[in-house]
Amino acid sequence: MRCLLFACLLLGSLPVLAVDRFQVEGYVLPNGLQVLLKPTADRDHVAIRLVVGVGLDDFACADKELPHLLEHLLFSGIDGTGEGALEERMQALGGEWNAFTGNADTTFVIEAPARNQRKVLDLLLAILTQTRFDANAIHAAKQVVEREEGGHYSHLQRWLDRQDLGHTASKQLAVELGLKCAQRAEARHLSREQLDQVREDWYAPNNMTLIIVGGLDRLLPAYLERTYGDLKAIDPSEHRPLPGIQHPAAVERSLIHGWVGNGAKLHWLFPEPVLDEQYDETFDLLKDYLDWALYRQLRLAHGLSYGPWAEREVFGGVGLLSLNADLEREDLDQARQVLDQLKADLLKNGLDPASFARLKQAAIARQAWAVQGNSALADYYWSALGDFEDGRFDDPARRLQAVTLEHANLALHELLAQPGYVRIEKPLLGDDQVLWLLGAVFGVMVLGGLGWRLRRKQ
């Protein structure tokens, strides 16, 4: 009986654990370091994320690789023993680490056995405070960064980028609108002084958040206060304002991608109007709805595209929502008619209430399994830092629930009332054109040969 009672209590408490993922132990150390601790039932492991508030958006086009280069340099070794020795120390602790430089932040990502959590955190602190990089390390890191960005930036690639031909459709449009740098940033010219400056200006506790999820050590808060609490705060730097739309862009353009082929991609892109409430959730739901509408129209009804899709992307301070389809070249016109019809129908009749309700419920249901395990939870906290307040993350299911059909219809109308931007990506030549071209070349050769023989006979 007692066992049964215990089982009932346990089962009764399980849903509480499951919905509790939004509640986190969060506090700020005296030096400004924000700490988020989340003990979970998965006790053998800890997921650690150190989020530093400096990213690509904080630098002008030419210097955009600065935070990325610095991120790599921080793995180049402590106390003069090199990057190999550093890696060996992490291996000995049974952990793995990596780092990512994004538009808004630079984040160090660690997975480790719970029993070594303090030693792993010691090592992370050591790379932040003890890494001294020399010219060799800088040179090596520059080469890695260059390789990651797609190898050496050739003259041809630079020229193509300047002509807007080296980018995919949404990036090309973003360049045209002034939301994105026209050329790829390079690391080669960056100096040690610049790197030191970035480290000094941004790598400070009052510009960092430390997230730890999993089997937390009981002494962790005291340990953090003693170690990370010793980092010196700085006067915070101002983030650069994100660019808005600066120039008009062509309503329609063809972009050449590749040399020969019969395929084509059709993209129709719309800047997202800014909404006062539930901005992200509303456009996420609209994206789901348009995804489904494209599938129904282009694949099921007309068989023009196998996997058409809707997509949301952010460039600078502007979101772009796009309708996209992989097509055969000769189907481009028909696909455009179908999309025109879809747009006209949505503007006239709005969203179908039943479909909207179904997709909204599906999006809410997805939240129940969208985040599983310590690592996913830590990543979720990292992505949602802006929604953390008073020890709680905002529940996305609740926010999705709050998006009404009327609200979504208003946003849809504002979105589609714009003409949008059509971008068609296709190879330089279609297969038929190549055959014609080869035939023409062959004909010229035959005629040339005949002419030559005639002349010799004379």
Q: Which of 147, 51, 60 is nearest to 102 (CA)?
A: 51
Q: Which of 150/386 has CB closer to Zn ion?
A: 150
Contact between 148 and Zn ion per CB under 5 A: yes
Q: Which stretch in 6-14, 147-155, 232-240, 314-322 sits in contact with Zn ion by CB under 5 A?
A: 147-155
CB of 16 to Zn ion, least distance (A): 40
Footprint of Zn ion on residues 24-43 (CB under 5 A)?
none
Starting at the earlier edge strand, list the strands of the sheet with 318-328.
252-256, 421-426, 263-271, 318-328, 309-315
CB of 372 to Zn ion, least distance (A): 27
CB of 197 to Zn ion, least distance (A): 20
Q: Which of 76/117 has CB closer to Zn ion?
A: 76
243-247's contacts with Cβ under 8 Å and 24+ in sequence apart are 243/178, 243/179, 243/316, 243/317, 244/179, 244/316, 244/317, 244/318, 245/177, 245/178, 245/179, 245/271, 245/318, 246/177, 246/178, 246/179, 247/176, 247/177, 247/178
Q: Which stretch in 45-53, 120-128, 143-151, 170-178 sits in contact with Zn ion by CB under 5 A?
A: 143-151
CB of 68 to Zn ion, least distance (A): 6
Q: Which of 148/277 has CB closer to Zn ion?
A: 148
CB of 104 to Zn ion, least distance (A): 16
Six token digits for residue 80 = 């003069």
Q: Which residue is nearest to Zn ion (CB)?
A: 148
Q: Which of 106/305 has CB closer to Zn ion?
A: 106
CB of 181 to Zn ion, least distance (A): 18
User: What whole-number distance in Å separates Cα of residue 250 and Cα of residue 263?
Assistant: 23
What's the Cα-to-Cα distance from 35 to each of 84, 103, 130, 190, 228, rounded to whole Å? 30, 22, 22, 33, 10
Q: Which of 148/252 has CB closer to Zn ion?
A: 148
Q: Which of 67/427 has CB closer to Zn ion?
A: 67
Task: Count the residues of the shown chain that bind Zn ion, applying the rule CB under 5 A.
Answer: 1
Contact between 340 and Zn ion per CB under 5 A: no
CB of 306 within 8 A of CB of 425?
no
Q: Which stretch in 144-152, 190-198, 344-352, 378-386 sits in contact with Zn ion by CB under 5 A?
A: 144-152
CB of 179 to Zn ion, least distance (A): 23
Q: Which of 148/196 has CB closer to Zn ion?
A: 148
CB of 347 within 8 A of CB of 417?
yes
Footprint of Zn ion on residues 173-212 (CB under 5 A)?
none
Amino acid at 377: L
Q: What's the CA dihedral at 304, 308, 314, 315 to 10 degrees?
A: -30
User: What whole-number distance in Å separates Cα of residue 203 and Cα of residue 205?
Assistant: 7
Q: Which stretch in 82-90, 148-156, 233-241, 316-324 sits in contact with Zn ion by CB under 5 A?
A: 148-156
CB of 278 within 8 A of CB of 404?
no
**Cα first-last separation, the chain:** 116
> How many whole angstroms from its chain centre is CA 265?
22
User: What whole-number distance in Å separates Cα of residue 430 and Cα of residue 263?
Assistant: 8
CB of 74 to Zn ion, least distance (A): 11
CB of 144 to Zn ion, least distance (A): 7
Q: Which of 123/145 has CB closer to Zn ion?
A: 145
Q: Which of 148/340 has CB closer to Zn ion?
A: 148
| C-alpha angle 388-48-371 in degrees, rounded to nearest 5 | 60
User: What whole-number distance in Å separates Cα of residue 260 and Cα of residue 443?
Assistant: 21
Q: Which of 148/394 has CB closer to Zn ion?
A: 148
Which residues have CB under 8 Å from 119's CB, separation 6+? 93
CB of 90 to Zn ion, least distance (A): 17
Q: Which of 76/172 has CB closer to Zn ion?
A: 76
CB of 148 to Zn ion, least distance (A): 5
CB of 369 within 8 A of CB of 380?
no
Q: Which stretch in 82-90, 106-114, 145-153, 228-236 sits in contact with Zn ion by CB under 5 A?
A: 145-153
> Which stretches of the chain bind Zn ion, using CB under 5 A?
148
